[in-house]
A = this chain, B = another copy of it.
Amino acid sequence: MSLQIRFSLNEGLFLKDPQDSKLGKNIIQHSILLIDEYGFESFTFKKLAEKIGSTEASIYRYFENKHLLLIFLVNWYWEWVSYLIKVNTTNVIDPKMKLKIIIHSFVFAPKDNPGVEYVNESKLHNIVISEGVKAYHTKDVDKDNSKGFFKSYKSLANEVSNVISEINPQFKYPYALATNLFEMSNNHIYFAKHLPRLTDISVNGNNVNEVETMLNYFADKLLS
């Protein structure tokens, strides 16, 4: 019954592809649960090993360190969003409609078809919202970037910027708008939950309708 999705993520991110083995899938599954529960700083390979009844040494055979694991998860998420967008926009020609669907796809990503048994997309989305920026806010960012660790995000931004340029070829900032839509989405969901005075929208439970409305408003207005 379940989709057998398997993303080709940058091979530098892992020592051994975790998508290929039971233990690897376990690492992915429970690292998502634990990072969501403890936060990235308090998450350790030791806790993870205990949780899955394995050992630190075994986990280190898959990931060099927890930072690369985080980048892996974030990439997985963006690949998943790209996949959703691709599926939802096939046969859509109107670029305005496309952008609407794109926005819907990533704001509601975790609600749409949970596709892989060992990935809790909703919690992964929470991780991207709460910890995602830490993937590229490090002193290693240039080194990591040169290894292609952010390719998933960059190619997604590229696709969205193309749609933006289709809507309005004169618009000067298609990349900035594309990334800003993603960043705003994550930021304002986070603000609504934790720092509500920094936003106008509210998120009740996991109802992110207001975020979608806001992003559509911003996009429409900027591209008009």
Contacts and interface: CB of A to CB of B under 8 A. Distances in A.
A138 interface: yes
A160 to B, nearest CB: 11
Contacts of A133: 133-134, 137
A39 interface: yes
Nearest to A180: B184
Given A173-B214, A187-B179, A187-B183, A198 B41 contact: no
Interface residues of A, number: 45
A61 B130 CA distance: 30
A41 B138 contact: yes
Interface stretch (A48-56, A69-77, A216-224): A216-224
Nearest to A223: B221
A217 B168 CA distance: 15
B198 A173 contact: no
Interface stretch (A4-12, A94-102, A116-124, A139-147): A139-147
Interface string A195-212: 101111100000000000
Interface in A179-199: 179-180, 183-184, 187-188, 190-191, 194-195, 197-199
A184 B218 CA distance: 14
Nearest to A139: B39
A64 to B, nearest CB: 15
Nearest to A37: B139
Nearest to A183: B187
A158 interface: yes
A157 interface: yes
3 A-B pairs with the lowest CB-CB distances in the bound complex, closest first: A39-B139, A154-B197, A141-B194
Interface of A: 38-39, 41-42, 130-131, 133-134, 136-139, 141-142, 145, 150, 153-154, 157-158, 172-176, 179-180, 183-184, 187-188, 190-191, 194-195, 197-201, 214, 217-218, 221-222
17 contacts: A38-B139, A41-B138, A41-B139, A42-B139, A133-B133, A133-B134, A133-B137, A134-B137, A150-B195, A158-B197, A172-B214, A173-B217, A175-B197, A183-B184, A183-B187, A221-B221, A221-B222
